[in-house]
Amino acid sequence: MKKRSKLITDLLKLTCDIPTKQLPLGASLIAYNLLLNLQISHHNGDTPTVKSLFASIPYSDMGIRYHLRHLLDDGWMELKPSNKDKRTRICVPTDKLDAAWALVIEQISQHLDGELVCLKCGGDV
């Protein structure tokens, strides 16, 4: 159990340190949660609206709006009109964000090679 606890603690530290170096987080969990939830939605094939992205994180609208504006202005994400409802805006990651997430995933994966075991099947992840 201690080995697993250390592995999980090390993983948490990595998943904190590596994104901080690659993504524009500015010591804010708001920016991190915006980018992480956008990436999760993107991987799931979803197209989150601004409203759903705001609802996905537990921070004030004013704080979220501040960070969202910076991420948009700096080219990390874009807003596009929805095909279903032109009044709705869809949040889309840019190539810049995709490249940064690819680096984050690659760096974390390098640290994890051979260290993770599937809890369900007992095999390597």
Q: Do 64 and 30 form a contact (C-beta atoms < 8 A)?
A: yes
User: How far is 74 from 84, CA to CA, in rounded Å?
Assistant: 27
Phi, psi of 43 (to 5 degrees): -65, -30
Residue-level pLDDT at 122: 54
Handedness of CA 41, 112, 16, 1 (dihedral sign): positive
- Contact predicate 64/97, CB 8 Å: no
Q: Which residues pair with 80 in a beta bridge?
A: 90
User: Model confidence at 10, in pLDDT bands (50, 70, 90)?
Assistant: confident
pLDDT at 125 over 50: no
Residue with tokens 């840019």, as numbered in its chain: 94
The tens digit of pLDDT for each residue in 50-88 reads 999 999 999 999 999 999 999 999 999 999 998 888 889
Complete domains list, the chain, with CATH: 2-112 (1.10.10.10)
Residue 120 confidence (pLDDT): 52
Residues 15-47 have pLDDT tens digits of 888 888 888 888 789 999 999 999 999 999 998
Q: What pTM value is reported for the model?
A: 0.79
Contacts of 34 (CB under 8 A, 6+ apart): 53, 57, 64, 67, 68, 71
